[in-house]
Amino acid sequence: MNNPQETADRLGSASGGNGFAPDTAGSDAACTLGAFGWNEQWQTAFEAAPKPAAGLVPARVTAQFTNQYRVRCEAGELAAEVSGKFQFQASARGDYPAVGDWVLAQPLPGERRAVIHGVLPRRTAMIRRAAGSVPEEQVIGANIDTLFIVNALNGDYNVSKIERYLVAAWESGASPVVLLTKADLCDDAGRRVAEVESAAPGVPVHAVSALEDQGRGELAPYLRPGRTIAVTGSSGAGKSTLLNWLAGEERQHVQGVREDDARGRHTTTHRELFPLPGGFIMMDTPGMRELQLWDAGDGRQEAFSDIEALAASCRFRDCKHGAELGCAVKQALRNGSLDERRYASYKKTGRELAHQAKKEQAVTKRAKKSADKRLAARENQARPAIDYD
């Protein structure tokens, strides 16, 4: 196994030089698991979980740097890696721990590090398609209660982008809330709020400004003790600024946006949990230029529930909303009750998810074919040779 200094060095390198070196004095042990969301339900799940090793304790993943983790247990903050058996048994990228996960950790005696042997079943998980040509899921964050979808009221404001995040949010199981940040830069924030509300049925929408301390009171119902809130959105939308504002102090370094196109610079380079005053936990995430959806059919139905309701009223159950008679969707487009932009967004996400599903099926088919060939080869090797003499 690696020595603790090598682990700490790798963590520091992965986080761009401002990495994690676990505390050596254990002075943070007084910050109990309750401050990170531990409760009776998680205790029950921990007790029911198989224990593949001795000395396992519950811990929450508070940060991730490639294949290295920072976890918090009753003993304090530890550097962690998954066990070799865990790696062998993991069948997909999504099986590995993610920030927000509760894990079965084995603290190593006399060291400020631990080995992760298992992950407790997730209650919620925000997932996107990972970058690359092979379709693969990436867990952005786990066990999230409320997801703040952040979009700035500057040149980066985009309702269609918000709709994409809502698809992933509904699919995750967390409760989405849209925050329109930098409201001080917008002369008509109320109109923008109304636009987003019409594109996000049933989702709370708030205009806030950290600079002018505007809208904090509206967020109070979400900031309850023990609740985990994730913040997601594009670079420069004000996610880290929002965290610092709610914390009452600087927890994350922030940078400005480019003046020519209002695009943000990547301030947050990794996902991380922060326990904040008031007892809630906030997860900051790196900005995403574009959210690639992953297996989000149910989330799409929820995010576009108004269009789904119209489609259910069409005369024909298999209506494609083209030239069919009695199409309620086309009628809504004609009379203006359904926005053309929103319908285009609905169709685009549908095409994207259908295309992705086909790619996943192809990859699964190839993987099964390869597995069958390996199995057949092993069986042939194990079969005794026939003596024809």
Q: Which residue has the tokens 């600079």?
A: 211
Task: Please indicate, yes or no, if residue 290 is contained in any of the structural domains.
Answer: no
Task: Please indicate, yes or no, if residue 167 is contained in any of the structural domains.
Answer: yes
Contacts of 318 (CB under 8 A, 6+ apart): none
280, 152: one domain: yes
pTM of the predicted model over 0.75: yes
Using the predicted structure, report yes or no on whether residue 93 has a pLDDT greater than 90. Answer: no
Binding site, annotated residues: 181-184, 233-241, 314, 319, 321, 327
- The number of domains in the chain is 3
Using the predicted structure, report yes or no on whether residue 29 has a pLDDT greater than 50. Answer: no
Task: Please indicate, yes or no, if residue 342 is contained in any of the structural domains.
Answer: yes
Rounded average pLDDT over 135-139: 79
Task: Please indicate, yes or no, if residue 143 is contained in any of the structural domains.
Answer: yes
More confident residue, 191 or 138: 191
From residue 42, give the alpha-carbon distance in Å to each of 29, 38, 78: 19, 6, 20
Closest CA to 63 of 269, 304, 371: 269
Binding site, annotated residues for GTP: 181-184, 233-241
Using the predicted structure, report yes or no on whether residue 146 has a pLDDT greater than 80. Answer: yes
161, 257: one domain: yes
141, 254: one domain: yes
Closest CA to 24 of 81, 77, 69: 77
The 3 state secondary structure assigned to the chain is: CCCHHHHHHHHHHHCCCCCCCCCCCCHHHHCCHHHHCCCHHHHHHHHHCCCCCCCCEEEEEEEEECCEEEEEECCEEEEEEECHHHHHHCCCHHHCCCCCCEEEEEECCCCCEEEEEEECCCCCEEEEECCCCCCCEEEEEECCCEEEEEEECCCCCCHHHHHHHHHHHHHHCCEEEEEEECHHHCCCHHHHHHHHHHHCCCCCEEECECCCCECHHHHHHHCCCCCEEEEEECCCCCHHHHHHHHHCCCCCCCCCECCCCCCECCCCCCCEEEECCCCCEEEECCCCCCCCCCCCHHHHHHHCHHHHHHHHCCCCCCCCCCCCCCCHHHHHHHHCCCCHHHHHHHHHHHHHHHHHHHHHHHHHHHHHHHHHHHHHHHHHHHCCCCCCC
Q: Do you know the residue count of the chain?
A: 389
CATH at residue 31: 2.40.50.140
21, 54: one domain: yes
pLDDT, position 236? 74
160, 178: one domain: yes
44, 143: one domain: no
Q: What is the rounded CA–CA span in Å between residue 319 and residue 261?
A: 41
345, 247: one domain: no
Rounded average pLDDT over 114-124: 97
Task: Please indicate, yes or no, if residue 371 is contained in any of the structural domains.
Answer: no
197, 274: one domain: yes
pLDDT, position 15? 37
- Among the candidates 119, 153, 178, a domain finishes at 119
Confidence of residue 1 (pLDDT cuts 50, 70, 90): very low
Q: What is the rounded CA–CA span in Å between residue 359 and residue 363?
A: 6
By CB atoms closer than 10 A (0-12, 13-18, 19+), residue 63 is buried
The 3 state secondary structure assigned to 207-241 is: ECECCCCECHHHHHHHCCCCCEEEEEECCCCCHHH
Q: What is the rounded CA–CA span in Å between residue 322 and residue 253?
A: 50
Using the predicted structure, report yes or no on whether residue 24 has a pLDDT greater than 50. Answer: no
Confidence of residue 4 (pLDDT cuts 50, 70, 90): very low
Task: Please indicate, yes or no, if residue 374 is contained in any of the structural domains.
Answer: no
Residue 69: how many other CB atoms lie within 10 Å: 29
Structure tokens at 252: 């994350």
Contacts of 319 (CB under 8 A, 6+ apart): 311, 326, 327, 329
Task: Please indicate, yes or no, if residue 387 is contained in any of the structural domains.
Answer: no
CATH at residue 191: 3.40.50.300
Confidence of residue 135 (pLDDT cuts 50, 70, 90): low
pLDDT, one tens digit per residue, over 195-254 is 999 999 999 999 999 999 999 999 999 999 999 999 998 877 788 889 999 988 777 666
173, 81: one domain: no
Using the predicted structure, report yes or no on whether residue 265 has a pLDDT greater than 70. Answer: no
143, 238: one domain: yes
Q: What is the rounded CA–CA span in Å between residue 118 and residue 82?
A: 8
Task: Please indicate, yes or no, if residue 376 is contained in any of the structural domains.
Answer: no
Segments forming the whole domain that contains residue 21: 4-119
pLDDT, position 253? 63
Q: Which of 124-133, 208-217, 297-306 has the lowest mean pLDDT?
A: 124-133
141, 273: one domain: yes
25, 162: one domain: no
Using the predicted structure, report yes or no on whether residue 345 has a pLDDT greater than 80. Answer: yes
CATH at residue 331: 1.10.40.50
pLDDT, position 388? 55
Dihedral sign (CA 368, 370, 373, 379) = negative
pLDDT, position 27? 39
Confidence of residue 355 (pLDDT cuts 50, 70, 90): confident
pLDDT, one tens digit per residue, over 9-21 is 444 443 333 445 5
By CB atoms closer than 10 A (0-12, 13-18, 19+), residue 80 is buried
Binding site, annotated residues for Zn(2+): 314, 319, 321, 327
- On average, the pLDDT of the chain sits at 82
Share of residues in the chain with pLDDT > 90 (%): 57
Rounded average pLDDT over 60-76: 92
The gap from C-alpha 198 to its chain's centroid, in whole angstroms, comes to: 25
Q: What is the rounded CA–CA span in Å between residue 315 and residue 324?
A: 9
**Nearest-10 Cα torsion for 237, 243, 248, 254:** -50
- Among the candidates 91, 119, 147, a domain finishes at 119
pLDDT, position 68? 92
pLDDT, position 361? 58
- Among the candidates 284, 313, 328, a domain finishes at 284
